[in-house]
Amino acid sequence: MKTLIAAALLLSTTSAYAHNSCNAEVEGGLKIQQDSIQFFDQKEALLYEIKNDKSLWIDGSAVQLSPAQQAVVTEYSARIHNVVPEVKMVVIEGLNLASDGFNMAFNELLGEGNTAADDLNEKLATIRAEVDAKFASDQVIYVNHNGIEGDNFLGKEFEQELQAAVEDTVQKAIGSILVAVGKEMIFSGGDSQAFEKRMESFGAKVEQEMESRAELIEAKADQLCQSFAQIDNLEEALKEQVQDVSRFDLFSVTVKQDSHHDDQA
């Protein structure tokens, strides 16, 4: 099953080496809009709705809520709305990290102003624009057990398309890279060790830069894990507070931390 966290962290977890392993599944579906969130079962039948982060509606009628129930409903809805820009930020920063890494490598090997990564940069720019548009505050987002709805958005086809773009860029650049390496060898009088040392120094520099930036994304990815866990906890609280909601279980979230942390759910 394609999980929501796997979709949301497709790039960020692979580039940021996040400490937390997240597994968040949506058993039904939910439609997130500015003024409401609708919750559906696996057959896409409407279960309940929260309007304006405030009122709970079941079977077309508003539920009379106690202050305690109202507090849970409001926080539950607000948390779901707030996680949308978190997902957007993590994915876009992961894309930026990938783009900058490729550009640094090609600029070192081929010189500033090379066009080797132009196609990939264009592809990544297109994806960034799609992510930005998809997660805009005025957009309707529908999430189900397959992930985020919309032309396999952030799904398997998205991952395969991105991987193909990377492979195509590297393949097209191989000839230019070999020529550049040949020139380096000639200009250095055939001193392969000097060239090797320069590449090792450059590699260490890139690794340090990427790891430093990846740590920032890692922290945001870990926070996103916790945000989904909090949503799951609030759903459980809502089920305890409102009997008519107790039979529904849309979210299943597990956050497994590394060996330096205790497991959380």
Q: pLDDT tens digits, residue range 83-128?
A: 999 988 888 888 888 788 878 877 777 777 777 777 778 888 888 8
pLDDT tens across 51-62, in order?
A: 999 999 998 899
Structure tokens at 199: 């590449």
The pLDDT tens digits for 161-170 are 777 777 777 7
Residue with tokens 């081929």, as numbered in its chain: 110
User: What is the mean predicted confidence (pLDDT) over 3-9?
Assistant: 36
Say if residue 78's pLDDT is above 70.
yes
- Which range, of 20-29, 161-170, 188-197, averages the lowest pLDDT? 188-197
- First-to-last CA distance in the chain? 19
Q: What are phi and psi of 163, to 5 degrees?
A: -60, -40
- The domain segmentation of the chain, as residue ranges, is 4-256
**Distance (Å, whole) CA 3 – CA 224:** 14
Residue 213 phi/psi, 5-degree rounding, is: -70, -35
Number of residues assigned to the chain:
265
The residues that bridge with 51 in the sheet, in sequence order, are 36, 55
257 pLDDT band (50/70/90 cuts)?
A: low
Contact 257, 19 (CB under 8 A): yes
pLDDT of residue 192: 64
pLDDT at 33 over 80: yes
Structure tokens that stand for 166 in this block = 């990377």
What pairs with residue 151 in β-bridges? none
